[in-house]
Structure 1
Amino acid sequence: MSVLPLIFTAGWASGINAYAVVFLLGVFGRIGWAEDVPPGLERTDVLVAAGALFLIEAVADKVPYLDSFWDAVHTVVRPASGAVVSALIAGQDDSLPTLFAAAVGGTTALASHIVKAGTRMAINTSPEPASNIVVSTVEDLGVGAVLTLAVFFPVLAAVIAGVLLVVGLWVVYLCASRIRRYLRRRRERREARGAAVLG
């Protein structure tokens, strides 16, 4: 069976939390749950690094405004991680060209990263921090659940990831005015800091 559903799901999950994807796939491969996991992801040093970075992200992702800064930094990291993980998975299987797999994983990761970053900007227009914590926790649990499902039922997981991606893009579109408001506030704060330094 083609690994394309697993690649799509891993790409979607990478756009939300790339470190969780590397860590979970590595653990699943290590304990024998998933045959398509590349040995490189199962290495102890990779698991330790991914686990540590996941914990850092789990904290940073729940702090208002810090989460959007973290997302900006990871605009390159998440799609690149999705592409690399997908290429490594395809390298374990002859049913899919590696370059195509990398393109699918990277593009899907970029799209889900846009959803994540966009919804966070919209949420950050609200003054209370609880929504950040709730959304971040739901994202972490969702990535874990869908990625685990992908190990046992890859097609079903890919369908769920696809639906979540489409719904997320629609939500970002609906929240466009709140996102613009967040970007305007950020620009005004930056300009005020610049004026204070010059003054």
Structure 2
Amino acid sequence: MEQLNLLGVALGLAALAGINLYLTVFVTGLAVNQHWITLSPQYQSLDVLAHPAIIIIAGVLYFLEFFADKIPWIDSAWDAVHTVIRPIGGALLGIQVLGHSTPAFDVIVLLLAGGTSLVTHTAKASSRLVANTSPEPFSNIGLSLAEDAAVFGGLALIHYNPVMALGVFAAALATFLYFAPKVLRAMKARIWLIFRKLNGPADSSAPSSLPIMLPSKFADEFNRQNVLTETIAWAVPCISGKGRRIPANLFGALVATNEEPRKLVFVAKRGGHGFSQAIDLDGLMVLREPKFLSDNLVIFPATGKGPKYLFVFPRSSGPVVEEIAEYLRARLTAPVSLITEPDHEPALQA
């Protein structure tokens, strides 16, 4: 039971360090220094956190983080810098809890504590990336205050019941790991959009024509479902947003064919396997939606009821998205027979 308590305190502090390392150290050290809590004999090694120099340094760094953590994009830059610092700090806190233990147990706790801090840091950083796409700053402030409150609550739980704290943190980590694929896809998409925005300034000129070459990594999947051997009218790389039967944040391509004027196909890779989904455009409308990081193509029902789709393009691809929207509007308003009939009458046989 004693080792379970030690593990609860070690991994609990590591998990909180992944959220806010400086606040965790500052509050713990201050509580010990001011005798708000009395350390049990097995936790006497944490007395080092009560050193005035450690409290002052942790307090100053938390003061800086308190403000940086509430400013959009500054918070993500701060998280990027702390991708290494927080896991290392969490691992050191976990080892410090043990004091003089067996080398094998030290290594186990070191690995678990570092991994736990990395997981909670990833959860924090990914939530901030998603929040930063919102134009208002209040979501960042709310998330930051909620994280600080979680650290205070977590420290109180660790103090009063380390085993319960271990169970709570384990459940939270398991929940995050369950949703990790979706979270990591969202992070990857946001990072890619940021990179494209910084390295690809917007071009206001309309493209002469939409690209017709489908990226080779998606060609096999398109050919597999293209049983009628339809020819590609255009194929534009994008990221999937919300849509019926289409998972969000998949890197793929939106494809239109010459033979099916009112149908689109989204092809992508999902978990190393090909993914494709056809979209019937009958009864739908198309809208271009410029955002801060992206230019979106929104497909929605004309009557208000029906499937909705969102496809995300880099902000620099605004003219391409507008060209796609115009193309689709023209196809949706024109009679099908007029779209599909050949440009030239076949030659008469003699």
TM-score band, normalised by shorter chain: 0.7 to 0.9
Question: Structure 1 residues 133, 169: closer, same or farther in 2, change over 3 A?
Answer: farther
Residue type at the aligned position of 2:9: L
Question: Structure 1 residues 4, 176: closer, same or farther in 2, change over 3 A?
Answer: closer
Residue type at the aligned position of 1:34: L
Structure 1 or 2: larger helix share? 1
Q: Deviations over 1:70-104 (max 9, x none)?
A: 00000000000001111111115679832222222
Shift of 1:27: 2.2
* Residue 38 (structure 2) aligns with: 33
* Residue 8 (structure 2) aligns with: 5
Say whether the 8 Å CA contact 1:112–1:165 is kept in structure 2.
yes
| Higher mean C-alpha deviation, range 129-138 or range 157-166 | 157-166
Asked if 1:188 is matched to 2:191, the reply is no
Question: Structure 1 residues 47, 10: closer, same or farther in 2, change over 3 A?
Answer: same
Residue type at the aligned position of 2:11: F
User: Which one of the candidate residues 187, 193, 196 is aligned to 1:179?
Assistant: 187
Question: What is the 5 A alignment of 1:15-164?
Answer: 15-30=18-33, 31=35, 32-35=37-40, 36=43, 37-91=45-99, 97-164=105-172
Q: Distance in 1 between matches of 2:141 and 2:94?
A: 29
| Higher mean C-alpha deviation, range 64-73 or range 94-103 | 94-103
Question: Structure 1 residues 178, 97: closer, same or farther in 2, change over 3 A?
Answer: closer
Give aligned pairs, total.
193
Identity percentage of aligned residues: 30
Give secondary structure in 2 for the equivalent of 1:138. helix
Give secondary structure in 2 for the equivalent of 1:38. helix
Bigger Cα Rg: 2
Q: Deviations over 1:44-70 (max 9, x none)?
A: 010011111111111111111111100
Higher relative contact order, structure no. (Cα contacts within 8 Å, ≥ 6 residues apart)? 1
TM-score, normalised with respect to structure 1: 0.87
TM-score, normalised with respect to structure 2: 0.51
Structure 2 residues not aligned, in runs of 5+: 202-350
Say whether the 8 Å CA contact 1:91–1:98 is kept in structure 2.
no
